[in-house]
């Protein structure tokens, strides 16, 4: 798990950048983790060949990302997160049209 200072820093960052989905926040609170750590732990649990590559520009975020390795999600927990997230409605586009044109 992250050091307490890093966890506090991560929570401050979440407040500055906007709220996390309630689903991630609820799981984060239950696991004493951050929403980002829950998201990364869920990705890591999907398949052995799926490797998330989170980017960061500061050491606090790197420590937060590394803290993901201490998050224990059971197979049942992974399934519950998958089921609950499938019920969410996503609003908006992935990126604006100009950037999307670069992807194609």
Distant-in-sequence, close-in-space partners of 45: CB < 8 Å, separation ≥ 6: 73, 75, 78
Rounded CA-CA distance 37/34 in Å is: 5
For residue 102, the Cα-to-chain-centroid distance in whole angstroms is 26
Supply the pLDDT for residue 16: 44
Query: Does 17 have pLDDT greater than 60?
Result: no
pLDDT tens digits, residue range 18-62? 556 889 999 999 999 999 999 999 999 998 888 888 888 899 999
Banded pLDDT at 78 (limits 50, 70, 90): very high
The answer to whether 93 and 42 are in contact (CB under 8 A) is no
Supply the pLDDT for residue 9: 47
Please state the pTM of the whole predicted model. 0.70
Rounded CA-CA distance 42/72 in Å is: 10
């Amino acid at each position: 798990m992250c050091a307490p200072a890093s966890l506090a820093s991560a929570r401050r960052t979440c407040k500055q950048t906007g709220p996390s989905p309630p689903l991630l926040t609820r799981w984060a609170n239950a696991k004493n983790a951050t929403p980002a750590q829950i998201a990364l732990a869920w990705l890591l649990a999907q398949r052995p060949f799926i490797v998330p590559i989170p980017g960061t520009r500061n050491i606090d975020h790197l420590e937060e990302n590394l803290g993901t390795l201490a998050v224990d999600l059971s197979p049942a927990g992974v399934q519950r997160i998958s089921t609950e997230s499938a019920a969410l409605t996503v609003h908006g586009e992935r990126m604006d049209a100009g950037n999307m044109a670069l992807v194609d």
